[in-house]
Amino acid sequence: MSAPLLSVEALSVQFPTREGPVRAVDGVDFHVMPGETLGIVGESGSGKTVSSLSLLRLQPPPARITGGRITFEGEDLLTASPERLAAIRGRRLAMIFQNPTTSLNPVLSIGRQLSEILRWHTGMNRKAATERATELLRLVGIGDPAARLRQYPHELSGGMKQRVGIARALLCEPSLLLADEPTTALDVTIQAQILDLLAELRGRLGMAMVLVTHDMGVVARMADRITVMYAGRVCETASAATIFTAPQHPYTRALLESVPRIDQSYAGRRVLPSISGRPPDMLHPPAGCRFHARCPEAVADCARILPREHALAPGHTVSCIRRGSPAETELAA
């Protein structure tokens, strides 16, 4: 079996505040194999985006990585120098950011923004870089790419800007692509086009992908494996087929039950099933399992025991004492 392309171990990220640290990511583990797509899902505030940005050491200020290890292609990114990180970002490890409007520079043309990346990483001359940028815009389905290179971001639609963001990430043919909510700001028709495009490019280029989203339908369509996060921690990781057919963590099941399904009737129901309560305050996280206050299966021990990931089967881990997880920390009752 080949080694993971990316391995994240016990990653912790905190936001310092006057009242104390906010533990946005608290001991997260996951890995990505060459050529596979890992979906990371969870509610807003679960730590998905902060985790993905931290892989590139781009966590938003004033956040800081307080622990863990990020190994990419055998190299520890947390100990890499700024110069080494600059060589890796965009070349071997690239990202499609959530909002294409804010991730593109409004005062530079599309052509300049794309060609500068190529010239920095590959040493191409201006003409060769422009030709490569034109080729990538054509690859992501943008018509008349030569004209688009002369335009500025405000002249493009949201879907067009997201395609430019995808082209920018693929310029140097990275081995791993991070996609943070790549379809959130787009209408349904454009969302489907972008997902089809990502699936096609992944197959054509043979790259791996980390897909961060709150949309279970997106990961069902795109992911080989899924990691479910809640309140900065991993609840469950398994193959996509297992997550959708035999989820074991109560939070995973609650997420799936709250998604409308076309093969079920909702006649007579006033509202769809939902998860009661709200996510915890990570400035003062609750003792025990982070989900216990909203969990329909919680028992007394759930409020005092913080579960550690536990292997139920090869490739399937869960963090729940009701599923046999050992205690990571036993707190006073």
pLDDT the model gives residue 323? 87
Whether residue 212 is predicted with pLDDT greater than 50 in this model: the reply is yes
pLDDT the model gives residue 330? 44
> Can you tell me the distance from the alpha carbon of 36 to that of 18, in angstroms, rounded to the nearest whole number?
41
Provide the angle, in degrees to the nearest 10, between the axes of the packed helices 126-139 and 110-122.
120
Residues 194 and 186: beta-carbon distance below 8 Å: yes
Helices vs. strands in the chain: H and E counts, helices first: 11, 14
Q: How large is the average pLDDT for residues 256-278?
A: 75
Whether pTM > 0.85 for this model: the answer is: yes
Say which residue, 325 or 41, is predicted with more confidence: 41
- Token reading at 198: 């990502």
**106: helix, coil or strand?**
coil
Q: How large is the average pLDDT for residues 2-16?
A: 95
CA gyration radius for the chain? 21
Amino acid 183 reads: T
How confident is the model over 79-96, as pLDDT tens digits? 999 999 999 999 999 999
For 238, phi then psi, to 5°, come to: -165, 175
How confident is the model over 55-83, as pLDDT tens digits? 999 999 999 999 999 999 999 999 999 99
- Domains of the chain and any CATH numbers: 6-92+172-330 (3.40.50.300)
Q: Apex CA 66: angle with CA 65 and CA 67, to 5°?
A: 100
Whether residue 253 is predicted with pLDDT greater than 80 in this model: the reply is yes
pLDDT the model gives residue 331? 40
Whether residue 320 is predicted with pLDDT greater than 60 in this model: the reply is yes
CB atoms within 10 A of CB 155: 12
Whether residue 163 is predicted with pLDDT greater than 60 in this model: the reply is yes
